[in-house]
Amino acid sequence: MHPLSNGRDTKFSDPFLNGLEIFKISENSLKSLAGPNPDPIQNPNNSNAGHNKKKSISGTTLIGVVLGAVFGVILVFIVVFFVFRSKRKTKGEMATTTKESKSSATSKWGPLSFSTTKSSNTQNSLPSDLCRSFSLLEIRAATNNFDELFIVGVGGFGHVYKGYIDNGATPVAIKRLKPGSQQGENEFINEIDMLSKLRHLHLVSLIGYCNENNEMIIVYDYMERGTLRDHLYNTENPALSWKQRLQISIGAARGLHYLHTGAKHTIIHRDVKTTNILLDEKWMAKVSDFGLSRIGPTGITKAHVSTVVKGSVGYLDPEYYKRQRLTEKSDVYSFGVVLFEILCARPPLIRTAEKKQVSLADWGRYCYKNGTLGSIVDPSVKWSIAPECLRKFGEIAVSCLLDDGTMRPSMNDVVWMLEFALQLQESAEQREHVVIPHTLGRIDDLEGEKRGENDDVFSSGTSVAHVSDFNKSSEVSVSTMTTSSSGDNSYGYNKESVFSEIVDPKAR
């Protein structure tokens, strides 16, 4: 019993035979015990090995694809970076070449290209947007080549010209830096940086600037009425009415209030004075000249900025001058001097006057304390000020001039109190045509009685008036002011009309 010799039907020998019965039932036509072998049993380990091999191959392929994609993305970024850098370099070279070859006669909005004579620090400090770029050719055309007949102002920065741009359609004020002034250059950069980021009804608007051929020029909206000082003293202009002065005071105070609280960081003007308050054709006040401005304290724990003392003599905060610590209350002090200028129509310093009258700030406080404020009021408005309004205005000015800066009101408080003083004036004008009696020389006589220590928000027991509390709510301040201004309401004015600004939000 062996496999067929030709191996046609078998490949393996059967290892064992189960008896003759298998032979009998065999359907083999040759009646032989030889037959085909069954299919060999597959080893399960061999199958798993094949599967693992496929899985391993698939994992390797996936890793390769991911790594390839990552390297591809990195390569794309590198290519884009170098292309972008190359384009920027080309644009910069083209702008410089264009600037040096020919000045464009058409102004544009957008980034400025700078003359190669300027330092890199100046170029980097100037803003690259939000300002209109003027060529020197345009500025010369606007001012008739800086004709002296076009000069409308002279200051520490340089000359201010009136000019016309946009084919003569738009009047502008053009401030030209004095050549070679390093301090002026710093102020130039600072003012553009400040004004390019600020927009407010009571701040002068920056239109643009020119930085070419060693010329540094700033272009503003033109203020038709000039400076506030032009309408107070040493002028041929008609005197301002008292109501106009109040409204101008309120406008300037709002501008300073915006600087202190409306921007991202507190901005301290540092040079508040009547020549830096401009008036437009409608007599609206706008604060100007931000060359000395500084960013105020930025930290919660920091209350001041340590800096070199700068400002104008007669307006400087004594606390800032002595300690070189600048706060927004330094602006409040300067504004107090401005208020006395508005009231008295005299300069902040008169060096030829008697010793106690040299400084307007000291003289004003002295007169207020002694009840003789009426004696230093500008004669042109002396007889048109309502007594209660005069008293309130004096309180505000003196509070701004307190020696301790922390006791001075904020500009928000100043705005509110000035609006209240205007309400008092308007209320009195509605009652009758106010004529101040000849006893105006003493504030005590305005109400026909002596002031008691508790009749006012100030106590007169010290050489400088004391402010009890300027941080109270408006409602509390209203009751305080009602007591101090009207006493027993002997004037008979309507309280509802006086406080209409509270009832009607639009009044503010």
Cα separation, 493 vs 77, whole angstroms: 76
Coil vs helix vs strand at 222: coil
In sequence order, the 6+-apart residues with CB closer than 8 A to the CB of 238 are 231
Cα separation, 293 vs 248, whole angstroms: 22
Q: Which residues are annotated as a binding site for ATP?
A: 175
Count other Cβ atoms within 10 Å, centred on residue 184. Answer: 18
221 annotated active-site:
no
Lookup: tokens for 244: 């106009």
Taking each helix axis as running N to C, give the angle between helix 328-344 and helix 242-261, from 0 to 180 degrees, rounded to the nearest 10.
Answer: 170
Burial-class residue 38 by CB neighbours within 10 Å (0-12, 13-18, 19+).
Answer: exposed
Q: Which residue shows structure tokens 């094949």?
A: 50
Cα separation, 358 vs 350, whole angstroms: 5
Lookup: tokens for 213: 């051929």
Coil vs helix vs strand at 95: helix
E strand map for 97-197: 108-109, 132-133, 151-154, 158-165, 170-177
Cα–Cα distance list, 503 to 241, 392, 498 (Å): 27, 21, 10
**Cα dihedral value 133, 136, 140, 142, nearest 10:** -10
Strand partners, 507: none
Cα separation, 330 vs 316, whole angstroms: 7
User: Could you give the strand order of the β-sheet that contains 132-133, starting from the edge strand earlier in sequence?
Assistant: 108-109, 132-133, 206-212, 215-221, 170-177, 158-165, 151-154
Cα separation, 320 vs 304, whole angstroms: 10
Q: Given 14, 221, 271, 289, which residue is catalytic?
A: 271
Q: Which residues are annotated as a binding site?
A: 175
- CB of 407 closer than 8 Å to CB of 466: yes
Burial-class residue 294 by CB neighbours within 10 Å (0-12, 13-18, 19+).
Answer: middle
Helices of type H across 325-386: 328-344, 360-369
Q: Which among 181, 176, 182 has a CA at the least distance from the CA of 217? A: 176
Enzyme catalytic residues: 271
